[in-house]
Structure 1
Amino acid sequence: MLRNSIIVFLIGISALPATAQQVLTESEAVSKALANNKNIQSASLQVKQQQQLLKSAINLPNPEFFWESPTGNFYTGSITQSFEFPTVYSNQYRLQKQQIGVAQKEQQITQADLKYRIKALYLEAQFTDSLVKQLYIQDTLYEKIKLSAIRQFNAGQIDYLQQTFAETQYGEIHNLYLQSITRSKAIKAQLRWLTGIKDSIIVEPLVINITQAPFPIVPDSMALLANPTVQLLQQQQAVAKQNIALQKSKALPGLAFGYFNQGERDTKWNNRFRFGITIPLWFGQYKSNISAAKTEQQVIQSRQEGLQQELSAQVINASSEMNANWQSVQYYQQTGLRKAQEVITTSQRFFVSGEIDYISFMRNNNDAYSIYQKYLEAVRNYNLSVINYQYLMGQL
């Protein structure tokens, strides 16, 4: 009997074995994307560039060479080398080391952004794969129901409305099924492009990420310090602080040393050296540089405090979303899925016994399968909120 064949399909489709394929894990996708991404390579080169500049931190002015006639009787050569106050060079060196730290923090931000993108994309691939599998079951079932309805209408066993309704429902589900396949292929193509993988890939099944339970609503202010953007501003503060020390040391007298014969040719060699100091008479310019450096530090500090306020609000929102999505997942696991299965089972029994027609049977199945889809969406939304929370807290 046609009704019985449909029920046999419903029971057997859930037991189909999965095809053995090579699975790309989330961690593998992240590591491959980090190795393949050009922005990460650029950030690494910026760190290297700042490290290379470390040797130029102790930069001496070029020596001055002259050929002149100080007495008017003959020409003689001279050389003079000037120096900043020694603390200038030590502060320049420390400042450049802090600049290396800034480049490293910027690299970490680039890495965190890419990790977030890959994790979210991988999650979407898991969701679309799960959706394709569910819609495949519906699509195959509804095609059988449609064909059965057409045959029964031609045999005069059902009316035209039931046949049309069965055809319409199949068309809707088939369209959604084809859309989900297209979406799944597009997401996996993005993953392959970002990871540099040439072959086709499949992802792990969609599961619930419970690594964040329980979920605090109000974030710990110290915990926000792990956020890479906060760490970047902290590093920029260290740069600004070191720049203040550098600008202060530049206001100190400099030194000069040279060799020059200002007497006759037979002047003793030890009388041909000269020593001197540079006097910072134009103190106003040094004072302005020091004041500007202090203001820069205040600007960065205010920016960091503002960022932490904004992050706190975002973390509170992310925690609230996690809790709401977790409640939704718990509902479907404890009640929703069980009720959906009861609807399917009861509807199948009534359909086989002839107590309901095609229209009622398909409407009941639509409602039940809609619950399964909402459960997949709840798991996807919950996992995405966890990824967002981890990104804000610097835990990716």
Structure 2
Amino acid sequence: MRPTLILLIYFLLASNAIGQNILTPDDAIRAALQNHPSVKAAAFEVQAKKYGEKTALNLPNPEVNIESPTGEFYAVGVLQSFEFPTVYSRQKQVAKAETALAQAGQRVSENDLRYMVRSLYLETQVAEFQAQQWRDRDTLYQQIAATAVRQFAAGEIDFLQKTMAENEAGEVRIERQAAEAQALQSRLLLAQWTGDTTNAPLLPLAPSEASFTLQNERLAESSPSVAYEQEAALVAERQVDLAKSRALPNFSLGYLNQGERSTPIDYRFRASVGVPLWFGQYRAGRQAAESEARAAWNRAEAQKLSVKTELDRLRTEAVSAFMQLQYARQEALPRSRALIEAAVRMREAGQIDYVTFLRTLDEAYAIQRDYTIRLQAFETARIQMFYLSGQ
């Protein structure tokens, strides 16, 4: 895409945004939760598990047969088999536990989506902020280049200084176009995830309130990924109970006249009991379920430890980034603005040449870029902490 076309699209989108409501991170998250397919898929999975609860009482179909027990007439019989009632109650418990697991998975999907939208929102904020920085710098450098051309024509500066000023202005113009293209791409990507096509303006990039009061242990306990593993462990425990009930006898009841036509009704019924003699296979099934349950609980503990460790690391990074950010806001940024103003004033007074002037400007703008990087690092750490704690 040619730079002029990128600029045209960017400014058309920007002009459409004037007068619109601001799109906040909460608005973006809310829109994504309503529109994104992954959240809808998770909701359907929960719905499927709830329907599955109704299949816990999965009785086999009754057998209807016609036979001639005496060789004199045909009799119609029916036979119904069923498990011990405890089996059905525990199958119901397993089904409910699987529903709870699907709901935990739904919360994981929603948390993943919140993290992605927050990250894209921050990325777009940073891209638009940097694009504005490059626009401001480009405006200044174009003025510098034009002034250098006039001074060269008047014989006030040499060819080297004029060429350097024009070259720097050209480089800044290219950087501006690249930054605006990146801002446009970030905005389009955010719109894809949120379904927002209004191109409403975002909140300006600024550091959020720093709060690190909650203990990481508490934050880890609220993590959706930890909750999912814990629900998976509960499902495994219900599977253990179900495996134990498999060793209970099963039954069948039936009706068939196996005697003469005049056989009394009371003697036409039949009943049988399935005796669980093969203890080895039932024991093996129970042991396998118990081992899986222990493994599931250990996975949950491992996930909790992993989340807590990551939260510790992120807390340290966030505190460090916040301290650097505070320094940049209070000291570095004012110093960079003062450098730019002083350099422009001294250049206009002819006190410094263009080489020193441009080098000073580059150092001052590097301070501003460094501030943006520190701000992004701080906000990224906060977003990751929100993600791990399910906020």
TM-score by length of 2: 0.92
* Whole-angstrom CA distance in 2 between matches of 1:334 and 1:185: 31
* Whole-angstrom CA distance in 2 between matches of 1:53 and 1:215: 39
In structure 2, the residue matched to 1:153 is 152
* Whole-angstrom CA distance in 2 between matches of 1:305 and 1:244: 19
Unaligned runs of 5+ in 1: 1-17
Contact kept, 8 Å, 1:66 with 1:77, in 2: the verdict is yes
Distance 1:210 1:175, change over 3 A: same
Cα distance, 1:343 vs structure 2: 1.4
Contact kept, 8 Å, 1:215 with 1:323, in 2: the verdict is no
Q: Structure 2: which amino acid aligns with 1:359? A: V
Q: Structure 1: which amino acid aligns with 2:232? A: Q
What per-residue deviation string (whole Å, max 9, x for no partner) do you get for residues 135-177 of structure 1? 1111011001101101110111111111011111111211111
In structure 2, the residue matched to 1:296 is 292
* Whole-angstrom CA distance in 1 between matches of 2:20 and 2:367: 29
Contact kept, 8 Å, 2:229 with 2:303, in 1: the verdict is no
What per-residue deviation string (whole Å, max 9, x for no partner) do you get for residues 97-151 of structure 1? 1111111111111111111111001001111111111111110110011011011
Cα distance, 1:19 vs structure 2: 5.2
In structure 1, the residue matched to 2:228 is 232
Percent identity, please.
35
Q: Structure 1: which amino acid aligns with 2:340? A: I
What per-residue deviation string (whole Å, max 9, x for no partner) do you get for residues 232-263 of structure 1? 11111111111111111121112221111122
Matched, 1:352 2:352: no
TM-score by length of 1: 0.91
Q: Structure 2: which amino acid aligns with 1:291? A: Q
Contact kept, 8 Å, 1:212 with 1:386, in 2: the verdict is no
* Whole-angstrom CA distance in 1 between matches of 2:317 and 2:149: 47
* Whole-angstrom CA distance in 1 between matches of 2:70 and 2:88: 37
Unaligned runs of 5+ in 2: 1-16
* Whole-angstrom CA distance in 1 between matches of 2:389 and 2:296: 20
What per-residue deviation string (whole Å, max 9, x for no partner) do you get for residues 347-388 of structure 1? 233223221122222222221122112112211110011001
Q: Which moved more, 1:294-303 or 1:190-199?
A: 190-199
Contact kept, 8 Å, 1:237 with 1:301, in 2: the verdict is yes
Matched, 1:41 2:37: no
In structure 2, the residue matched to 1:367 is 363
In structure 2, the residue matched to 1:141 is 140
In structure 2, the residue matched to 1:385 is 381
In structure 2, the residue matched to 1:15 is none
Contact kept, 8 Å, 1:119 with 1:387, in 2: the verdict is yes
SS in 2 for 1:202: coil
Matched, 1:285 2:298: no
Matched, 1:258 2:254: yes
SS in 1 for 2:197: coil
Distance 1:102 1:353, change over 3 A: same
Aligned length: 375
Cα distance, 1:315 vs structure 2: 1.4
In structure 2, the residue matched to 1:192 is 191
Contact kept, 8 Å, 1:92 with 1:246, in 2: the verdict is yes
Q: Structure 2: which amino acid aligns with 1:140? A: T
Cα distance, 1:305 vs structure 2: 2.0
Contact kept, 8 Å, 1:215 with 1:319, in 2: the verdict is no
What is the root-mean-square deviation of aligned Cα atoms in Å? 1.6
SS in 1 for 2:211: coil
Distance 1:215 1:264, change over 3 A: closer
In structure 1, the residue matched to 2:51 is 52
In structure 2, the residue matched to 1:13 is none
* Whole-angstrom CA distance in 2 between matches of 1:307 and 1:203: 35
* Whole-angstrom CA distance in 1 between matches of 2:125 and 2:226: 32
SS in 1 for 2:61: coil
In structure 2, the residue matched to 1:332 is 328
